[in-house]
Amino acid sequence: MERTFIAIKPDGVQRKLIGEIIARFEKKGYKLVAMKYIVPKRELAAKHYEEHKGKGFYEGLLDFITSGPIVAMVWQGKGVIATARKMIGQTKPLESECGSIRGDFGIEVGRNIIHGSDSLDSAEREIGIWFSEEEIFDYESSL
């Protein structure tokens, strides 16, 4: 079953959007199979964002993402990678559709609330960076 990595960034936590964001994914029908609330170490954040190394915003991005707690999650379900990206919106909140998370709650690209994997390859890579197999629970629902 398809899985994606989603992180609520420090700004999303500080703005008390954790419940709102999790509710959107749950109501859509996706299954939360892993979650941790952590202040990421710089090394971990650097691994996650290695494709952006050398860009002007890279060091600031690492400073910010390691500045406070984030909610790292794995969501599972049919088409979850692409659908989560639609639910999240564009990288720049001002270019995001209203109705998306960034479109509804953000303005600044450096404070865009949430991260979601952009492809199957990056989902697999990012899940592997943040979680071990033992931390992922693909439970069956009896309800």
Residues that bind ligand CMP (CB under 6 A): 52, 57, 61, 91, 109-110, 112, 115
Least distance to ligand CMP, CB of residue 141, Å: 30
Least distance to ligand CMP, CB of residue 65, Å: 8
Active site residue 52: no
Question: From the CB of residue 24, how many other CB atoms can be counted at a distance below 10 Å?
Answer: 17
134/61 Cα distance (integer angstroms): 29
The CA-atom distances, in angstroms, between 15 and each of 3, 5, 12, 83, 124 are 26, 21, 5, 24, 29
Least distance to ligand CMP, CB of residue 106, Å: 10
Task: Confirm whether residue 111 is marked as ligand binding.
Answer: no
39/133 Cα distance (integer angstroms): 21
7 versus 33: smaller Cβ distance to ligand CMP? 7
Task: Confirm whether residue 24 is marked as ligand binding.
Answer: no
Phi, psi angle pair for 36, to nearest 5°: -145, 145
Annotated binding site for ATP: 9, 57, 85, 91, 102, 112
Residues recognised as catalytic: 115
